[in-house]
Chain A
């Protein structure tokens, strides 16, 4: 029973846990909510482990498949399955959820149960997005995940949270509604099927493909986010509570990139090829231009937000150069970015909890008062800049390699990020951590407590582990990436 419904469990267990959290905890007894949420998050991660252990790396076929009719009238099925691409994100998501619950342990004092429940529900919904093989099911999860995030930003966010929450919701909804129409169109074209695998085999002419490509592009580009529709992200990040920023950066941004892999590339291969120049251009703009934008930010969260946009530009670049190393590099980059950006936001959260400021100018000399923290923060900053031996390097290097293979100047342009990225991250680090203690608030800072050390330490292990030995990740995705590239190469005309 459990073995055949692992994916369902990974989706519905956190959601059921969230209901328990809401039902069991009162405002007077927030401890209960925290404990139940942590147990749920741990269990949620536990049920995803067999997915990795039992995963057959030799095949690109969908595994752990579950299929039952859901709405037979429209031939919508509750159809779940993972391949080498999505299984990693299910694991990542369930792992990050634990950290998020821990990160909000002390900081969140208002409406604890609702806070925890919102994150657990979101975790379940995002697992649903990665597992869904039925487009309608995918869409339902995709859009439903907006609700908890909207509430997280709107309720526990910063001073300008309402604006950010609206912007986040409406931007994303705008994109996804067009995708809905594209999906309905594909449903009719394919003779009444919402099965994504059927769609991948469906012949389509080039003009149709192009229109559908743009409809999907808007949805996914907003979510990634790609330049020029990235402007919601800095606002959302700055206003969101730490946990919200972590989930947003580590998981939510991956949904858009994942959408490209699941929909745009295999279903619309000819349009993807025809428009790859545009996609590469947009990606490089994000990588370079947004990198410079990040350089001038005075707000740390905003800086990391822009650096996320820049890093995600690398991911989309890796997809649209259509070679194995580029695509795998992009996937590694997605996972690495999940760890690194999550860790960066947690580090900023650690400082914000003590100083209630995210301005770089308010800091200086943090290393003197918080040595343990400064060491870990340095590691994550280095990873963000793509230093070898950290996970950040692996992905970026592979994508640059792939890009050079595709076209030297593309690779050259992409490689500038190694300079720009190092510049904005390390400069920020220098201004925050090094130098003399700038003011008495910094002097009074307390170093990491055990809980914070545990969270950041776990992430540090992931970052280093993945940087030194990335094969556990790349082995899993190999067959699926291979298969995907074959699908993209085969014309549907």
Chain B
């Protein structure tokens, strides 16, 4: 057995991030507490550095390295760039909130960096083991982040729930992977696809494994009926962490679904599409119905996240019709576009909660948004944009996301599925409109001026404008999604 030196170059960004995280860990030991800001700065620098590395190593080639455990392709590069972006935005949004509550600890930044590393590994995994490693690195960091405010009973409870359920889901995923390994004899995603294609795999065992795999994925995506953790964790976690969970990990979970189901198990599309269909319909129905009953905005957005992920699955399940794969590109790129636009909206909506929160006051109830238009017309407009966009009203990006997914669904001839989806998004429109109504039609209960640092205000404004501009000119992002998938599939 001879050892071949792997090619480290495709994983340069990950290696850089890991090195920086270790360095920050050491620097933190030497820093007096008053100079915590250095850590924040270094974290931001790390993300920028990663972005530079990833951006300048985009070459459109699919490169496998580390004994085929790791893949560097356009899809990975694109999603990683978006992950850096949304993590950076999260850091800017949450700085003030954390500082006021004494949560501005170095652990926060380190855990965020490790979670980012986990997401990057997930996005680039081409092997069950590396995928699992990335997933666990992300999940463990998130469990700890949820419990960041250790004196809060609610946060600790949420972390506990998240951990127990998350561990079980990881178990399901692992069990599914082992079944598939049993049937195909390989852990490489590409190898699995080959084995199934050549018909050497035992179909029964495969399907059995597939069910576990899809269940695990569904948990990580947070779709019904594996959604139980979402409302509690979103509600219980400190808002910056909710923002974090609600944004970048969705991109990673999307990548994971794509790698496992499309790259690995496309031959079984008939089976997993049916499962995804059930998950999607249930999520859209349950998410939208349950969100109506919520009075807490974080909980409402949690249920909305469930329904959005269900909608995303609609794109993912429209790729193959009776063995015909010519729909695949449109379908998967619509799902990707949906995920990206959802992350953008989610950042903005949670960002607004952070903006309105201040010392001793969490602006997480719907009533906290009452009369926002009188307190700050501009930020009321930003929140209004987010809500209308999530409801899928043009000219906002959320409309085009729904549009492209619905087009993919109708393309496969499943018109009824599209009708179900729009029926529940109609119901969903109600609770988004309610937020708009509170902001515009009601009198404020809380007349405190809007605080929040200048950079946060600017970034949040840019976030709102991005949702509008990408809604007015959706072409570029849509085309990029399609192009990237074309080069990576």
A interface, CB within 8 angstroms of B: 22, 70-74, 111, 114, 136, 139-141, 143-144, 146-147, 150-151, 154-155, 161-162, 165-166, 169-170, 173-174, 177-178, 180-181, 184-185, 187-188
Contact = CB atoms under 8 A, between A and B. Distances in A.
A170 B429 contact: yes
B195 interface: no
Contact of A114 (B377, B406, B418): B377
Which 10 residue pairs of A and B lie closest in terms of their CB atoms, listed nearest first? A177-B422, A140-B394, A184-B410, A154-B441, A71-B475, A144-B394, A155-B440, A181-B418, A184-B407, A73-B478
B475 A184 contact: no
A184 B441 contact: no
Nearest to B474: A71
14 contacts: A22-B377, A70-B475, A114-B373, A114-B377, A140-B399, A146-B393, A155-B373, A170-B430, A173-B426, A178-B419, A178-B422, A181-B415, A184-B406, A187-B407
B406 A180 contact: yes
A162 B440 CA distance: 10
Contacts, number: 89
B130 interface: no
Contacts of A114: 373, 377
Given A72-B475, A73-B482, A154-B441, A184 B430 contact: no
A301 B194 CA distance: 71
B27 interface: no
Contacts of A187: 407
Given A140-B399, A166-B430, A177-B422, A147 B441 contact: no
B394 A143 contact: yes
Residue from A73, A150, A178 having most chain B Cβ neighbours under 10 A = A73
Contacts of B422: 177-178, 180-181
Contacts of A165: 433, 437, 441
A57 B425 CA distance: 44
Contacts of B474: 71
Contacts of A154: 436-437, 440-441
A147 B407 contact: no
Given A73-B479, A169-B429, 19 more contacts: A114-B377, A140-B399, A143-B399, A144-B394, A144-B395, A150-B433, A155-B441, A166-B437, A170-B430, A173-B429, A177-B422, A177-B425, A178-B422, A180-B403, A181-B415, A181-B419, A181-B422, A184-B403, A185-B410
Contacts of A169: 429, 433
Nearest to B413: A188
B132 interface: no
A424 B393 CA distance: 39
Nearest to A154: B441
Nearest to A139: B394
A182 to B, nearest CB: 9
Nearest to A181: B418
B447 to A, nearest CB: 15
A71 B479 CA distance: 9
B411 interface: yes
Residue from A141, A147, A162 having most chain B Cβ neighbours under 10 A = A147
A155 B436 CA distance: 10
B426 A71 contact: no
B417 to A, nearest CB: 10
B395 A150 contact: no
Residue from B373, B399, B410, B418 having most chain A Cβ neighbours under 10 A = B410
A121 to B, nearest CB: 11
Contacts of A180: 403, 406, 422
Contact of A185 (B415, B440, B441, B478): B415
Contacts of B394: 139-141, 143-144
B478 A71 contact: yes
B388 interface: yes
Contacts of A155: 373, 440-441
A177 B426 contact: yes
A162 B407 contact: no
Given A73-B479, A74-B407, A143 B393 contact: yes
A182 B415 CA distance: 9
Contacts of B419: 178, 181
B433 A166 contact: yes
Contacts of B475: 70-73
Interface in B380-419: 388, 393-395, 399-400, 403-404, 406-407, 410-411, 415, 418-419
Contacts of A140: 394-395, 399
